[in-house]
Structure 1
Amino acid sequence: MLITFKSKAAADVVMYESHAKPILDLLHKDAGRGVITSAEAGDAIALLEKHITASKAHEAADALERDVNAHHNANTDDHNHEKIEPVSFSARAYPLLDMLREAKKGNYDVLWGV
């Protein structure tokens, strides 16, 4: 199922529900229908930015661990291609974060499920 975030401040942002749900859970919002008011936007932006910063730190550590395991394992050096990386939380959250920033500037709400 798709969730379409709407605001007068920016173009619609469309996400799969499974990708939007972790973001909305972080913001304590229901995935079915909801609103982030212009008054709530500042707190939502700060929370998302904090979580993105923390997730990027973990991504770097995970990438280093994968590299070490791929090239310094019991079978000596492994030159096989690594698996395709999944899309990170920060990449998924960025379009909504950008919409929230614009909504805050223009004093608009962000809606979905309506």
Structure 2
Amino acid sequence: MLYKFKSRATADLIMLEPNGRQLLKIVGKGEEPHGIIIAAQIPAAIEALQAAVAAEEAAERDLQEPLQGAPAAQDGEEAPDGPAAGGEGVRLHQRAAPFIDMLRRSAAEGKDVTW
């Protein structure tokens, strides 16, 4: 399933279900297949998304600090897995950026965001 976010202030934004559901959960909306963020709710939604992004970045920094002093993997040993080790993977700030932009532009024009 896909989430298709719409606003009269921007182009449509399409996300895969897990990503869309995660963002909706952060802004305090359920996992319903259809819903609305009215213009008055947009500033709180943006603030919630920015707080979640900041929390994820802080947690990632905390994970990387112990790894910086760790010795490199020896021959035959595997390097630590995960985003903190290799810097791979899509971060929340990357997934949330287009949605935050849509919310900001919609708020500027006083338009609702629906899905």
Write out the 4+ residue segments of structure 1 that deviate beyond 2 Å after TM superposition.
Answer: 59-70
**Residue by residue, what CA displacement relative to the aligned partner does 1:16-67 show, whole Å, maximum 9, x if unpaired?**
0111111111222133111000000011111111111111112233344455
* TM-score for both structures, normalised by structure 1: 0.80
Q: 1:1-114 to 2 correspondence within 5 Å? A: 1-31=1-31, 32-66=33-67, 68-69=69-70, 71=72, 75=74, 83=86, 85-112=88-115
Higher share in strand: 1
Change (3 A) 1:104 1:63: same
2-side partners of 1:8 and 1:70: how far apart? 53
* TM-score for both structures, normalised by structure 2: 0.79
Q: How many matched pairs? A: 109
Give the letter for the 1:104 counterpart. Answer: A
| Percent identity (aligned) | 31
Gaps of 5+ in 1: none
Please give the root-mean-square deviation of Cα atoms over the aligned residues, in Å. Answer: 2.6
1-side partners of 2:92 and 2:46: how far apart? 14
2-side partners of 1:59 and 1:26: how far apart? 18
Gaps of 5+ in 2: 80-84
**Residue by residue, what CA displacement relative to the aligned partner does 1:68-87 show, whole Å, maximum 9, x if unpaired?**
5572x5x38x797x657110
Paired residue secondary structure (1:11): coil
Give the letter for the 1:53 counterpart. Answer: A
Give the letter for the 2:29 counterpart. Answer: K
